[in-house]
Amino acid sequence: MIEDLLATIVGVDHIDVGDQISEDATHDESLDGVPVRPRAVVRPGSTEEVAAIVRAAVVEGIPLTPRGSGTGLSGACTPVAGGVVVSFERMNRILEIDTDNHVAVVEPGLTLAELDAALAPHRLIYPVFPGEQSASLGGNVATNAGGMRAVKYGVTRHHVLGIEAVLGTGDVISAGGKFVKSTSGYDLTQLVIGSEGTLAMVTRATLRLHPRPEFHTTLLAPFPTIQAIASAVPPIAASGVGPLMVEYIDLVSMAGITANAGIDLGIPAEIKEAALAYLVIVLENHDPTRLEEDTEALAGQIAGLGSLDVYVLPDQAGTQLIAAREKAFWASKANGADDIVDVVVPRASIPSFLDRVSERAAATSSLVIGCGHAGDGNVHLSVWQPDPDVRHTLLHDLMTSGLALGGAISGEHGIGTQKAGFLAELEDPVKLDLMRRIKAAFDPHGILNPGTVFDPVGPSGAGGATGATGPALVTGAGR
Ligand SMILES: Cc1cc2nc3c(=O)[nH]c(=O)nc-3n(C[C@H](O)[C@H](O)[C@H](O)COP(=O)(O)OP(=O)(O)OC[C@H]3O[C@@H](n4cnc5c(N)ncnc54)[C@H](O)[C@@H]3O)c2cc1C
C-alpha cells in the first residue's frame, strides 16, 4: 500500500488518510471548481523526503498534486481522485537572509506574510504581493504570481534567482543562485516558474530582495469612464515617478469593496454620481520630501488627464483602500460570483478589451464587473452568469478577444484545471506540443499534477484537451 510506504518516508504523524483528510485539501479558492478527495495528504519535512515520495509514487503509479496554501484561483492544486497531495506546510523555514547580496533563501511552504515580517527588521522587502498574503512562496513560484506591485517591481519570475526542485523521476536539481544572470545552458529556473507543479516540486527558492521604502502616498482619481482611465495610464507610467501601484476599480466594484470593508472615502456626492470608475495610484519613496514633490506633480498631471478630481488620501484611508482592493475577490465570492476572468492585454488595449466585455455581457445578459492592475494590463473580472453553457461561451469570447488584442488567457492565476480546456482550444498547437515534450522530459511518468495545464481529468475537465500526445500516467500494477 502506498500509504504505508509514504508513512515510512514522512512518519505516521505527517500523513492523513480517510477521515483525517481535511476538506480544505480537496480544493483551492477557485469559484467554479469541484472538490476532489485525494487518497492521502502527505507532509514532507525535507527535500530528501519529497524525492522519496516521488520515487514511491513512480513505482506505484500514483499521481501527486503539490499544494502550498491552497489560495490559487484556477483549480491548480485540486487533487486527482486516487492521488496523493504533497503539502509543503512543514517545509516553511527561512534558510538565510543575506543582507549583503539582498537575497533570501526559503523553503516553499513559507507564506508571503511570514517572509515580510522577517524582512521588515532588515529594512528589506520581497516586493511580489499577490492579493493574498497567506499564499506560499512555492505556490507563488509555481504560478508566477504577480499582483498590484508588478507595475514597479515585476512579478515572481523577476525575483526568483534560483531553485532546488524534485523532478518527476525523484532526481533533485539545483538551478541558478545568488546572482541576477548566468548564461550557462537553458534557464531551468525560469522554466519551472509558472509551470503550476507540472514539471517539478520546488523545495527551495533563492529570492531577490529590495531596500524597503518607508513612505507611501495613495492618490484616488474618479473618472467619468473606464476608457478615460485606460487612456490616462500610459502618460502616468511615463511620468517618471515610478508608481508602486496603478489600479483601476469600476463603479460597482468600488461600491462593493468599500461597503465590504466599511470605508467611507469622503468623496462628494456630485463626483460620486458622475464617476464610473476610479484610478488608485500608490507612490513610495525613501525620502518624505521627494515623495511629497512626486505626489504633487502626479496629482497635477492626473487632473489634466480627464479625471473628475484627484484626492490624496490620508494614510489610514489609503491603507484601508488598498487592503479592501486586495480583498475584492472575497467580496465577489461573498456576493455569489460564478467565475472570474484574469485575461491580460497590452495596457494600451484595456479600453478595447473592456468595450468587448461590455458588449458580450449585454449580449448574454450577464453581469461582468471588475478591477485590475491597469499599469500592466491585467484585467480581473467577476462574472455572474448562472447558466454554465452561456458562461462557457462568454468566457471563451473574452479570452479570444484578449488573444486577438495581443494578450493571454491568464495573466495571473494560471491555467490550472479550470482553463486547461480553453488552453487546448485557443493556444497554438505547435507550442502546446512543445510544452508537452518539455513536460515529458521533466516528468516522464506523468505523475506531477495531471489535469493541470493539460488534459483536465476532474469533473471540471469537461471540454478538456483531446488527442493527448504527452506522457500518460503510469498505472502501477503494485497499487
Ligand atoms: C484574494 C486573492 C487575491 C489574489 N490575487 C492575486 C494576484 O493579484 N496575483 C496573482 O498572481 N495571484 C493572485 N491570487 C492567486 C494566488 O494567491 C496565487 O496564485 C498564489 O501564488 C498561490 O499560492 P498558494 O501557496 O496558495 O498555492 P496553491 O494554491 O496551493 O497552489 C498553486 C499551484 O502551485 C503548485 N505548487 C504549490 N506549491 C508547490 C511547490 N512547492 N512546488 C511546485 N508546485 C507547487 C500547485 O500544485 C498549484 O499548481 C489571489 C488569490 C486570492 C485568494
Distance 125 CA to ligand 1 centre (A): 19
User: Does the Cβ of 417 fall within 6 Å of ligand 1?
Assistant: no
Best of 143, 153, 164, 203 to mutate for ligand 1, by most ligand atoms within 8 A of CB? 143
Output 401-405 pairs: Cβ under 8 A, ≥24 positions apart: 401/343, 401/353, 401/356, 401/357, 401/360, 402/343, 402/344, 402/345, 402/353, 405/345, 405/346, 405/349, 405/352, 405/353
Which pLDDT value is given to residue 461?
Answer: 39
Q: Is the pLDDT of residue 127 over 80?
A: yes
Torsion sign (Cα): 54, 56, 59, 62: negative
User: Does the Cβ of 167 fall within 6 Å of ligand 1?
Assistant: no
Best of 42, 46, 136 to mutate for ligand 1, by most ligand atoms within 8 A of CB? 136
From first CA to last CA, the distance across the chain in angstroms is 6
Confidence of residue 477 (pLDDT cuts 50, 70, 90): very low
Q: Which three cell numbers stand for residue 453?
A: 495545464
Would you say 285 and 215 are in contact if contact means Cβ atoms under 8 Å apart? yes
Give me the percent of the chain exceeding a pLDDT of 70. Answer: 95
Confidence of residue 185 (pLDDT cuts 50, 70, 90): very high
Which pLDDT value is given to residue 440?
Answer: 97
Q: Which three cell numbers stand for residue 103?
A: 537575497
Q: Which three cell numbers stand for residue 119?
A: 524582512
- Report the distance separating Cα 109 and Cα 5, nearest Å: 23
Least confident of 343-347, 408-412, 459-463: 459-463
Average pLDDT over residues 290-319: 94
Distance 75 CA to ligand 1 centre (A): 10
- Report the distance separating Cα 251 and Cα 244, nearest Å: 22
Which pLDDT value is given to residue 457?
Answer: 65
More confident residue, 102 or 225: 102
Q: Determine which residue's CA is closest to atom 34 belonging to ligand 1.
A: 139
Which pLDDT value is given to residue 470?
Answer: 38
Nearest partner of 454 among 192, 78, 201, 198, judged by Cα: 198
Index of the ligand 1 atom closest to the CA of residue 137:
25
Average pLDDT over residues 206-231: 94
- Report the distance separating Cα 384 and Cα 1, nearest Å: 45
Q: Which three cell numbers stand for residue 419?
A: 482553463
Index of the ligand 1 atom closest to the CA of residue 165:
42
User: Does the Cβ of 132 fall within 6 Å of ligand 1?
Assistant: yes
Per-residue pLDDT reduced to its tens digit, 252-282: 889 888 888 888 888 899 999 999 999 999 9
Which pLDDT value is given to residue 181?
Answer: 82
User: Does the Cβ of 78 fall within 6 Å of ligand 1?
Assistant: no
User: Does the Cβ of 155 fall within 6 Å of ligand 1?
Assistant: no
Distance 302 CA to ligand 1 centre (A): 34
What is the side-by-side order of every strand in the sheet holding 172-176? 94-98, 103-106, 200-208, 160-167, 172-176
- Report the distance separating Cα 234 and Cα 350, nearest Å: 11
The helix (H) or strand (E) run that includes residue 357 is: helix 350-363
Distance 341 CA to ligand 1 centre (A): 15
Distance 328 CA to ligand 1 centre (A): 16
Question: For the chain, how many helices (H) and strands (E)?
Answer: 16, 18
Least confident of 162-176, 256-270, 343-357, 452-466: 452-466
Nearest partner of 319 among 249, 267, 245, judged by Cα: 245
Q: Is the pLDDT of residue 459 over 50?
A: no
Mean pLDDT across the chain: 92
